[in-house]
Structure 1
Amino acid sequence: MARNEEKAQSMLNRFITMKEEEKKKPKERRPFLASECRDLAEADKWRQQIMREIGRKVAEIQNEGLGEHRLRDLNDEINKLIREKTHWERRIVELGGPNYTRHSAKMTDLDGNIVDVPNPGGRGPGYRYFGAAKKLPGVRELFEKPPELRKRRTRYDIYKRIDASYYGYRDDEDGILEKLEGPAEEKMRAAAVADWMEMEEIKKEARRAVKSGEVAEVGLMSKILFEEEEDVVEEERKEREREEKEKEFVAHVPLPDEKEIEKMVLEKKKQELLSNDRGITKDSRSMIILDCN
Structure 2
Amino acid sequence: MARNEEKAQSMLYRFREAQAAELGLSQRTDRRPRVASSCKDLRQCERWRGEILREISRKVSKIQDAGLTDYEVRDLNDQINKLLREKYHWENQIIALGGANYKRAAGKITDADGREVPGQRGYKYFGRARDLPGVRELLNASAADNAELESYKTVKATMFDNAPPEYYGNLAEQGEEGKRLLEAEAKAEQAAWEEAVSNLEDEIEDVPSIPLPQRTTISLAPPSAEPDAAGKRKAPASAASKKKTKLADGSAAASQAGSAAAAGFESIFTADQLQPPKLLSAEEMEKALVKRQKEMLLEEYGVDGEQQ
* Bigger Rg, structure 1 or 2: 1
Task: Tell me which interval the TM-score lies in, with the shorter structure as reference length.
Answer: 0.3 to 0.5
Normalised to the residue count of structure 1, the TM-score between the two structures is 0.39
Normalised to the residue count of structure 2, the TM-score between the two structures is 0.38
